[in-house]
Structure 1
Amino acid sequence: MGSSLDGRVALVTGAGRGIGAAIATRLAADGAAVAVNDLDAATAQATVDRIREGGGGAVAVPGDIGEPSLAGRIVEGTVGELGALDVLVNNAGILHRVPFREYTAGQWHRILAVNLSAPFFLAQAAVDHLAASGHGAIVNICSVAVTGFFRQIGYDASKGGLLTLTRSLAVELGREGIRANAVAPGFVDTEIAETGDLAKVRNKTVATLPLPRAGQPHEVADAVAWLASDESRYVTGQLVHVDGGWFRH
């Protein structure tokens, strides 16, 4: 077990599987007590069980972050179980691969609710706890898709908004000792990367990268752990790319 986050408490959304589970596991390995959020309570508990089996501390705080009224409950559930909140990781996200003309109002509102509005409301619910910690950190999981991709306009728009939200939070909350940063993964080997035609797009794209492979969830988690720790104490409002060289080829 590491020590860079000893004594701290982190809340990670969408942590039942994939990148979120890797982040929760890594933060726990670095010494944090982790509140694991997921839409599926059983999936959240599975991550908690794995962390505990490895000697870490974790609790499940399941709930649909797409419902604004639940943000306060999730944050207060974390503080009630673990006593504080030092790190908020907004990882949960959804993706619709739909042509622009076929995008429905329901899909548009849902993807913005989960990918953009939820990080806002969770940060708002958490801000007093983060300020009280003395080393509060918000890490938002963004995407290389902020540049715009085919058939995923809602996802791209929500992640672009999340990047701007991150920078605004950095400006707004810095004087309170809270840092806000974002991580932009490229193609990572997760379940979502196998959705529809994404596997074909991924395989074709990663072959052109300077590091010609898909990323692994733990590689994204490494960047998050750094941004959550005091090792990045003078870093805020930044976007850290974990993409194999996506923007340099």
Structure 2
Amino acid sequence: MSDRIVVVTGGARGLGRHLTEAFLEAGARVVIGYLSSRDAAEELVARHPDRTVAVRADVRHRDEVQALVSAGRERFGAPVNVVVNNALVDFSFNGDARPSVEQITGADFARQYEGAVEGALHLIQAALPDFEEAGEARVINVGTNLVQNPVVPYHDYTAAKAGLLALTRTFAAELGPRGVRVNMVSGGLLRSTDASSATPDEVFDAIAAATPLREVTTPAQFADAVLFFASEGSRAVTGQNLVVDGGLVMN
């Protein structure tokens, strides 16, 4: 993937770090978007000084997201041609601590919508001029299998990811004639990331027992699917949602 210049939001820690490292291992150049993980981002840049740049950006603010794309262009001298919408705003996968139907508020939904849907909108819009110059590009949105199988009812998070799935399909329809493929990779509970660190072991074990593969998906396995959508192997694929969860959800 030496021809890929990739922006990964939330790319310094958790799942995002695995995605960043997978792209780097495959030969891509990566813009690492981060919000609060400056040290982790700078550590990645120190390890890969020629193929990374780290930029602080809150995906909820369009001007900060624009800086991600601009930094990639300036650092690597070519247009950004892959964006990965991975950033997760203020969320922990702890079923015991989640708000119930009686407790959840509209503000909870709005917070997750801003991060997942508006954040993706900001990055895609910011990258469109680069996409046009590149002649083809890839958008990869990070979703969840909870949309199909809400085994734990994280109401706000799941609703926001459902909105992101709709954006994936409608943007794929409009951007396809411009050579832009837009797809989603939806994981189950991943073992483990920062967001899933609060999940009890018995929950992981129960999910593993329910999958045909009898295992919980790892961040590295999830990253493999993201790289597929960034590669030439997916050149005829757009508007799709690939569920990567060991077969727990079958489409």
| TM norm structure 2 | 0.89
Amino acid at match of 2:99: V
Query: Matched residue of 2:34: which SS?
Result: coil
The whole-number CA distance in structure 1 between the counterparts of 2:125 and 2:180 is: 12
Amino acid at match of 1:81: R
2:150 corresponds to 1:156: no
Identity of aligned residues (%): 31
The whole-number CA distance in structure 2 between the counterparts of 1:79 and 1:129 is: 8
Across the aligned residues of Structure 1 and Structure 2, the Cα RMSD in angstroms comes to: 1.9
Query: Matched residue of 2:52: which SS?
Result: strand
The whole-number CA distance in structure 1 between the counterparts of 2:23 and 2:212 is: 29
In structure 2, the partner of 1:28 is: 24
Are 2:109 and 2:159, in contact at CA under 8 Å, matched by a contact in 1? no
Are 2:143 and 2:186, in contact at CA under 8 Å, matched by a contact in 1? yes
Residue range with higher mean Cα deviation, 93-102 or 162-171:
93-102
Amino acid at match of 2:242: V
2:122 corresponds to 1:121: yes
Residue range with higher mean Cα deviation, 139-148 or 105-114:
105-114
In structure 2, the partner of 1:47 is: 44
- Larger proportion of helix: 1
TM-aligned CA distance change 1:99 to 1:93, over 3 Å: same
The whole-number CA distance in structure 1 between the counterparts of 2:110 and 2:136 is: 33
In structure 1, the partner of 2:102 is: 101
2:196 corresponds to 1:193: yes
The whole-number CA distance in structure 2 between the counterparts of 1:235 and 1:198 is: 36
Are 2:145 and 2:188, in contact at CA under 8 Å, matched by a contact in 1? yes
The whole-number CA distance in structure 2 between the counterparts of 1:181 and 1:37 is: 20
In structure 1, the partner of 2:55 is: 61
Q: Gaps spanning 5+ residues in structure 2: where? A: 93-97
Query: Matched residue of 1:141: which SS?
Result: strand
The whole-number CA distance in structure 2 between the counterparts of 1:131 and 1:57 is: 23
In structure 2, the partner of 1:135 is: 136
Are 1:98 and 1:151, in contact at CA under 8 Å, matched by a contact in 2? no
Query: Matched residue of 1:215: which SS?
Result: coil
TM-aligned CA distance change 1:146 to 1:153, over 3 Å: same
In structure 1, the partner of 2:95 is: none
Q: CA deviation at 1:178?
A: 0.6
Q: Gaps spanning 5+ residues in structure 1: where? A: none
- How many residue pairs end up in the alignment? 241
TM-aligned CA distance change 1:242 to 1:151, over 3 Å: closer
Residue range with higher mean Cα deviation, 152-161 or 205-214:
205-214
Amino acid at match of 2:123: L
The whole-number CA distance in structure 1 between the counterparts of 2:195 and 2:41 is: 17
The whole-number CA distance in structure 1 between the counterparts of 2:39 and 2:214 is: 35
The whole-number CA distance in structure 1 between the counterparts of 2:63 and 2:109 is: 19
Matches within 5 A, 1:163-174: 163-174=165-176
In structure 1, the partner of 2:209 is: 207
Amino acid at match of 1:152: Y
In structure 2, the partner of 1:9 is: 5
Are 2:55 and 2:67, in contact at CA under 8 Å, matched by a contact in 1? no
TM-aligned CA distance change 1:163 to 1:33, over 3 Å: same
Residue range with higher mean Cα deviation, 124-133 or 76-85:
76-85
Moved over 6 A (4+): none
Are 2:183 and 2:241, in contact at CA under 8 Å, matched by a contact in 1? yes
The correspondence for 2:74, drawn from 63, 74, 80, is: 80
Q: CA deviation at 1:134?
A: 2.1
Query: Matched residue of 2:56: which SS?
Result: coil
Q: CA deviation at 1:198?
A: 5.5
The whole-number CA distance in structure 1 between the counterparts of 2:202 and 2:88 is: 21
The whole-number CA distance in structure 2 between the counterparts of 1:48 and 1:207 is: 39
Are 1:13 and 1:20, in contact at CA under 8 Å, matched by a contact in 2? yes
The whole-number CA distance in structure 1 between the counterparts of 2:111 and 2:61 is: 10
